[in-house]
């Protein structure tokens, strides 16, 4: 296959390095240095996709990030599929596999094309709103068709094998864009000793200088680029990032840079290299040198393949040695557009006509065109393009001086390429990301960055300063400003001399008139990717949309992956004209991150797979794994859930664990409980303020359960706090609530009661905690300690220091199961040792490890609550039947006291926590089930409260449940019904939540 559009020489490609690539199943050749787009154009590929809505054939329009059409599906294997890659930014590599994105089922036989043919009437703006809103029952049908036909690209079905990561960066000056302005800024800042990052989305630094024939200091501009790049490379504190798009500009000068490290090398990153990297940059100053995008003009059938932006034509010729056609018609409103015709002519191909919308153009480039004898047609425009899969000709006609109407007869000119230039739009996207609104500039005929609170400077074409000399000077000045603001001393940089080009006044024109009205003329595209036409925007305005933000949403203009880089200004101009307003009056939509699409891989970085979220382990975790535990996530903790033996179901295991604990002894790893060391002479008083109950008299050596409420009176955590010394306590919290409680204590200490002498320190991870529970727990413990752990010496709710299995320990006689229990705490480094010793001695007592599920069942048998399961932020202690844990007579108005006295908290018929026994003891109520008093009441039935905890109790041989019932504490013995989704209605009787050993005899032994 020959590259029919490739020039014999010229450009920055390496003809000695041919590459093979695949597009839609066919193999083609290109060269090192090509983009996928330049290689496709070299091979004469015209149609690279179908349009989104009308399914019209589309070709490559631009040469950079602004490309709306050439978005490709890439990937040689299923796992390496990448959707929506702009061919204009994808560097060619050997073996690259690409395909058209949005043709379904293929580019050539597109079923949506049928719809597209008649689509002019069928799919006006608002089509989806208008059509698919009703009947609602049809949505499922519509959706399946729309989803299949719409959408761009497809995601891989297999895991991405490559590695993506994130790196945090800091710098004095971040320079965005490495064109003449950016390079001048970076060089000045670097020489002055600043920490500099300079990023550019292209493979090479140089920006516009790479695709121009201009000279600096009389030599090709690329020589100066090489000189600057070499110097920058020599500084330790300069980071140079090619192939790196600054995608987002966030608050306080935080920017994200998406670096593509290996996408230009191969389908997969070689040798385990990082494929893409997200740099998270905190910059003291930012210099935006992002350049400008050329605007195409809006004219009839301007989307036929072969229609391109003028500057892109130059770029393909100059940088890639590709002339994308044979016969060119150029239409321009300004001098810079002429360069495309000059380059085309100089490449040896025919320029059919240069159509200038101005009556009397003048300037250096106009003179050059005349000198070359090009067919210059002034005061005219290309009003329509002929052709379907490629331009075959154009209709040219004189237009009025204001550009609003056709003013003469039509001439047809045959051509296969139409380049258009409507002037330039500064790339202001990043400056908008933090909320700064751009400002229209009449002279530039474009929006410029607006006022900002960020430490942001701008230089070059982003300011509408399009000449190279101005760009260089502004780049240098921006760096000098930043250096001065940083209090650094500026170094001298002598800028190179650029050749000044005289340019005539451009004409302000966006939308080329047609003989017919916009509505009746062939489609004049504004936003190619979303198929938004001038007629569509006019219709939106006629239908009453006046705000540009509404027009945008109604027409979907600027919503594509290109974010309307080419079309937005034209669209605003069309809307302004339709609304009889000026562009500044119409205003602009705002650009948001990201500048160009970012892969999910780069967003996720390494926070995936095993590293997605931290897994927290206790000191005994290894034992749990080796003994077959199933784990449950409690916050980030991995807690044993239950320990099934071979062949056991979960329920079998729970039944066995529950019975073994009540009959002999079980053991639980309770290390995850939050533990806070509290010291100071006011520690006791502090406890009294944050807990609902009294702490004034808790003696050294004693433990007490406490409830913690918010100022609203609602329970938010609970736990046992023990008095270690007169001024020393250790508080336990729920496993999930540890961090919150710790911060809560600090909040009150630091902001409300800073005069109190108390220090809090978290010791959760320091102690390994194991609870042995059951009638044989004392015997087991006694075997491992010389300390007398009899009832007389270590009573219920006492704690003592002792050696357990040779390790110093604090042993707390507290119980969450209602059994005789000992909570053994040792320094975590010795946790596993003690745990294993307990098992060595525990075999004869059938010591049984149990997990969180058995813990939940055993505590529910006793009616003990779990904060967060039986509470939900809307229940106070009295709702829980735990008024015994509130001491209203404490001298200080403790947190929660006033809250729980509010009118709503003391009204009758609040939901209260009760026990519930199903009529059929074998039925276990689902947690969350809503109770009703009358199951035959009409729907919606009045609901009286939900089930919070529900289990099968092997010890009781029946189901048990806890739940809320309105006024439940006064309704003992009454019936509640639970209608379930499956149609069953389960009847239950209200009872005390203490199902087992109501007198507490089992733990007081």
Interface positions, 410-469, toward another protein (CB under 8 A) = 434-435, 453
Nearer to another protein, 277 or 429 (CB): 277
Residues 6+ apart with CB under 8 A from 543: 126, 554
Q: Of these, 24, 375, 392, 679, which contacts another protein (CB under 8 A)?
A: 679
CA atoms within 13 A on the CB side of 543: 14
| Stretch of residues binding another protein (CB under 8 A), selected from 112-120, 301-309, 575-583, 610-618 | 610-618
Q: Are strands 307-309 and 417-421 parallel, antiparallel or unpaired?
A: parallel
Encoded one letter per residue, x for contact with another protein by CB under 8 A and - for no contact, window 243-272 reads: -------xxxxx-----------------x
610 binds another protein (CB under 8 A): yes
Q: What is the DSSP string of 563-630?
A: TTTTTHHHHHHHHHHHTT--HHHH------S-SS---HHHHHTT-SGGGSS--B--TTHHHHHHTT-E
Residues 6+ apart with CB under 8 A from 387: 301, 304, 305, 306, 393, 416
Minimum distance between the CB of residue 114 and another protein, rounded to whole angstroms? 48
Contacts to another protein from residues 171-230, by CB under 8 A: 195
Nearer to another protein, 213 or 766 (CB): 766
- Give phi and psi for 641, each to the nearest 5: -95, -50
Contacts to another protein from residues 794-833, by CB under 8 A: 801, 803, 806-808, 810, 826-833
21 strand-pairing partners: 28, 96
The residue assigned the tokens 């664990």 is: 657
User: What DSSP character marks residue 735?
Assistant: T
d(CA 624, CA 647): 18
Minimum distance between the CB of residue 999 and another protein, rounded to whole angstroms? 33
Minimum distance between the CB of residue 766 and another protein, rounded to whole angstroms? 3
Structure tokens at 432: 């908008």
Give yes or no for a contact between 666 and 774, defined as CB atoms under 8 angstroms apart: yes
Minimum distance between the CB of residue 671 and another protein, rounded to whole angstroms? 8
Contacts to another protein from residues 847-876, by CB under 8 A: none
Structure tokens at 942: 């009045």
Nearer to another protein, 764 or 776 (CB): 764
Nearer to another protein, 359 or 606 (CB): 606
CA atoms within 13 A on the CB side of 952: 15
273 binds another protein (CB under 8 A): yes
632 binds another protein (CB under 8 A): no
Give yes or no for a contact between 825 and 834, defined as CB atoms under 8 angstroms apart: no
Which SS3 state, helix, strand or coil, does residue 486 take?
A: coil
Nearer to another protein, 404 or 681 (CB): 681
Residues 6+ apart with CB under 8 A from 982: none
| Stretch of residues binding another protein (CB under 8 A), selected from 329-337, 618-626, 775-783, 851-859 | 618-626
Q: Of these, 259, 303, 677, 870, which contacts another protein (CB under 8 A)?
A: 677
Minimum distance between the CB of residue 3 and another protein, rounded to whole angstroms? 37
Query: How far from chain centre, in Å, is Cα 658?
Result: 45
927 binds another protein (CB under 8 A): no
d(CA 266, CA 286): 33
359 binds another protein (CB under 8 A): no
Encoded one letter per residue, x for contact with another protein by CB under 8 A and - for no contact, window 104-133 reads: ------------------------------
Nearer to another protein, 609 or 940 (CB): 609
Nearer to another protein, 266 or 274 (CB): 274
Nearer to another protein, 888 or 998 (CB): 888
Nearer to another protein, 585 or 726 (CB): 726
| Stretch of residues binding another protein (CB under 8 A), selected from 180-188, 675-683, 865-873, 950-958 | 675-683
241 strand-pairing partners: 199
Nearer to another protein, 52 or 623 (CB): 623
Nearer to another protein, 430 or 924 (CB): 430
Question: What is the H or E stretch that residue 134 is in?
Answer: none
Q: Of these, 373, 614, 891, 983, which contacts another protein (CB under 8 A)?
A: 614
- Map 756-785 to HEC letters: CCCEEEECCCCEEEEEEECCCHHHHHHHCC
Q: What is the DSSP string of 213-278?
A: --EETTEEHHHHHHHHHHHHHT-TTEEEETTEEEEEEEGGGEEEEEEESSTTT-SS-GGG-EEEEE
d(CA 877, CA 714): 7
Minimum distance between the CB of residue 883 and another protein, rounded to whole angstroms? 18
Nearer to another protein, 152 or 763 (CB): 763
Q: Of these, 700, 943, 980, 985, which contacts another protein (CB under 8 A)?
A: 700
Question: What is the H or E stretch that residue 10 is in?
Answer: none
Encoded one letter per residue, x for contact with another protein by CB under 8 A and - for no contact, window 882-911 reads: -----------x---xxx--xx--------
Minimum distance between the CB of residue 787 and another protein, rounded to whole angstroms? 13
Contacts to another protein from residues 736-755, by CB under 8 A: 743, 746-747, 750-752, 754
Give yes or no for a contact between 59 and 107, defined as CB atoms under 8 angstroms apart: no
991 strand-pairing partners: 915
d(CA 706, CA 733): 10
d(CA 234, CA 262): 24
Question: What is the H or E stretch that residue 665 is in?
Answer: none
Contacts to another protein from residues 752-791, by CB under 8 A: 752, 754, 757, 759, 761, 763-768
Residues 6+ apart with CB under 8 A from 265: 93
In terms of Cβ atoms closer than 10 Å to its own Cβ (0-12, 13-18, 19+), residue 402 is exposed
CB atoms inside a 10 Å sphere around CB 888: 11
Minimum distance between the CB of residue 26 and another protein, rounded to whole angstroms? 37
Q: Of these, 170, 372, 404, 592, which contacts another protein (CB under 8 A)?
A: 170
Give yes or no for a contact between 529 and 58, defined as CB atoms under 8 angstroms apart: no
Minimum distance between the CB of residue 987 and another protein, rounded to whole angstroms? 39
Structure tokens at 975: 């019936």
Encoded one letter per residue, x for contact with another protein by CB under 8 A and - for no contact, window 706-735 reads: -----xx-----------xxxxx-------
Number of residues forming the site for another protein (CB under 8 A): 84
Nearer to another protein, 50 or 621 (CB): 621
Nearer to another protein, 108 or 613 (CB): 613
| Stretch of residues binding another protein (CB under 8 A), selected from 108-116, 129-137, 608-616, 658-666 | 608-616
Minimum distance between the CB of residue 880 and another protein, rounded to whole angstroms? 21
971 binds another protein (CB under 8 A): no
Nearer to another protein, 561 or 825 (CB): 825
Nearer to another protein, 795 or 998 (CB): 795
């Amino acid at each position: 296959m020959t590259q029919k559009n490739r020039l014999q020489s010229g450009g920055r490609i390496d003809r000695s390095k041919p590459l093979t690539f695949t597009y839609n199943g066919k193999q083609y050749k290109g060269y090192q240095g090509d983009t996928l787009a330049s290689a496709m154009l070299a091979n004469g590929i015209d149609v690279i996709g179908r349009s989104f809505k009308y399914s019209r054939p589309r070709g490559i329009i631009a040469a950079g990030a602004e490309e709306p059409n050439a978005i490709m599906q890439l990937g040689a294997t299923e796992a390496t599929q990448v959707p929506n890659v702009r061919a204009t930014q994808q560097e060619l590599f050997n073996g690259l596999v690409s395909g058209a994105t949005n043709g379904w089922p293929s580019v050539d036989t597109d079923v949506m094309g049928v719809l597209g043919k008649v689509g002019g009437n069928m799919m006006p703006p608002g089509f989806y709103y208008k059509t698919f809103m009703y009947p609602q029952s049809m949505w499922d049908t519509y959706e399946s068709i729309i989803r299949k036909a719409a959408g761009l690209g497809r995601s891989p079905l297999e895991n991405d094998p490559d590695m993506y990561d994130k790196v945090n960066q800091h710098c004095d000056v971040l320079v965005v864009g490495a064109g003449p302005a950016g390079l001048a800024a970076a060089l000045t800042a670097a020489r002055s000793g600043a920490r500099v990052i300079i990023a550019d989305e292209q493979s090479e630094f140089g920006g516009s200088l790479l695709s121009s024939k201009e000279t600096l200091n009389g030599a090709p501009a690329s020589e100066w680029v090489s000189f600057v790049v070499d110097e920058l490379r020599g500084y330790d504190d300069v980071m140079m990032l090619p192939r790196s798009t600054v995608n987002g500009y966030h608050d306080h000068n935080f920017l994200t840079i998406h670096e593509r490290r290996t996408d230009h090398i191969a389908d997969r990153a070689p040798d385990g290299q990082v494929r893409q990297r997200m740099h998270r940059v905190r910059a003291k100053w930012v210099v935006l040198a992002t350049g400008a995008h050329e605007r195409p003009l809006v004219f009839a059938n301007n989307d036929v393949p072969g229609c391109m932006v003028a500057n892109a034509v130059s770029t393909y010729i100059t940088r890639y040695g590709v002339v994308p056609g044979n016969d060119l018609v150029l239409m321009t409103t300004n001098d810079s557009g002429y360069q495309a015709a000059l380059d085309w002519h100089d490449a040896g191909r025919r320029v059919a006509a240069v159509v200038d919308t101005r009556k009397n153009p003048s300037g250096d480039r106009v003179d050059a065109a005349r000198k070359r004898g090009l067919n210059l047609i002034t005061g005219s425009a290309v009003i329509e393009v002929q052709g379907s899969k490629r331009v075959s000709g154009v209709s040219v006609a004189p237009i009025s001086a204001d550009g609003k109407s056709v003013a003469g007869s039509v001439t047809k000119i045959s051509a296969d390429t139409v380049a258009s230039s409507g002037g330039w739009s500064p790339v202001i996207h990043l400056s908008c990301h933090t909320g700064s609104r751009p400002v229209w500039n009449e002279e530039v005929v474009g929006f410029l960055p607006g006022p900002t609170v960020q430490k942001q400077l701008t230089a070059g074409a982003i300011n509408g300063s399009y000449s190279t000399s101005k760009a260089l000077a502004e780049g240098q000045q921006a760096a000098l400003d930043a250096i001065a603001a940083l209090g650094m001393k500026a170094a001298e940089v002598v800028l190179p001399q650029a050749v000044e080009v005289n340019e005539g006044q451009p004409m302000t024109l966006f939308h080329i008139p047609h003989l017919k009205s916009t509505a009746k003329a062939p489609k004049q595209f504004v936003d190619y990717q979303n198929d938004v036409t001038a007629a569509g925007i006019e219709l939106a305005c006629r239908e009453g949309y006046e705000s540009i933000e509404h027009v945008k949403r109604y027409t979907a203009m600027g919503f594509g992956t290109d974010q309307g880089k080419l079309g937005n200004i034209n669209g605003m101009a069309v809307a302004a004209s339709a609304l009889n307003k000026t562009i500044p009056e119409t205003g602009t939509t705002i650009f948001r991150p990201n500048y160009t699409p970012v892969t999910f891989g780069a967003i996720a970085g390494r926070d995936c797979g095993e590293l997605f979220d931290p897994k927290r382990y206790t000191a005994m975790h290894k034992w749990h794994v080796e003994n077959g535990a199933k784990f449950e996530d409690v916050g980030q903790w991995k807690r044993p859930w239950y320990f099934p033996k071979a062949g056991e179901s979960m329920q079998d295991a729970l039944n066995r664990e529950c019975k073994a604990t009540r009959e002999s002894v079980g053991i639980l790893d309770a290390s995850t409980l939050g533990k806070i060391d509290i010291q100071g002479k006011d520690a006791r008083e502090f406890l009294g303020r944050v807990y609902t109950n009294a702490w004034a008299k808790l003696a050294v050596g004693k433990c007490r359960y406490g409830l913690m409420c918010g100022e609203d009176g609602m329970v938010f955590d609970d736990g046992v706090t023990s008095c270690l010394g007169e001024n020393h306590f250790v508080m336990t919290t729920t496993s999930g609530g540890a961090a919150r409680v710790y911060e809560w204590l600090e909040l009150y200490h630091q902001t409300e009661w800073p005069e109190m002498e108390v220090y809090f320190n978290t010791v959760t991870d320091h102690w390994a905690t194991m609870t042995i529970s059951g009638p044989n727990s004392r015997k087991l413990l006694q075997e491992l300690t010389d300390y007398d752990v009899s009832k007389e010496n270590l009573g219920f709710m006492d704690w003592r220091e002792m050696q357990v299995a040779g390790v110093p320990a604090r042993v707390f006689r507290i119980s969450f199961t209602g059994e005789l229990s000992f909570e053994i705490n040792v320094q975590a480094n010795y946790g596993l040792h003690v745990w294993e010793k307990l098992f060595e001695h525990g075999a004869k007592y059938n010591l049984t490890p149990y997990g969180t599920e058995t813990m939940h069942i055993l505590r529910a048998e006793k009616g003990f609550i779990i904060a967060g399961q039986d509470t939900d932020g809307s229940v106070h202690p009295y709702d829980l039947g735990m008024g015994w844990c509130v001491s209203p007579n404490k001298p200080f108005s403790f947190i929660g006291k006033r809250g729980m006295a509010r009118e709503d908290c003391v009204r009758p018929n609040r939901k209260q926590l009760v026990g519930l026994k199903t009529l059929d003891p074998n039925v276990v109520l689902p947690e969350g089930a809503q109770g009703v008093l009358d199951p035959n009441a009409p729907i919606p039935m009045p609901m009286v409260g939900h089930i919070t905890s529900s289990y099968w109790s092997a010890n009781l041989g029946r189901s048990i449940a806890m739940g809320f019932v309105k006024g439940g504490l006064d309704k003992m013995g009454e019936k509640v019904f639970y209608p379930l989704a499956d149609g069953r209605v389960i009847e239950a009787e209200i009872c005390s939540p203490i199902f087992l050993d109501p007198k507490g005899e089992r733990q007081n032994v």
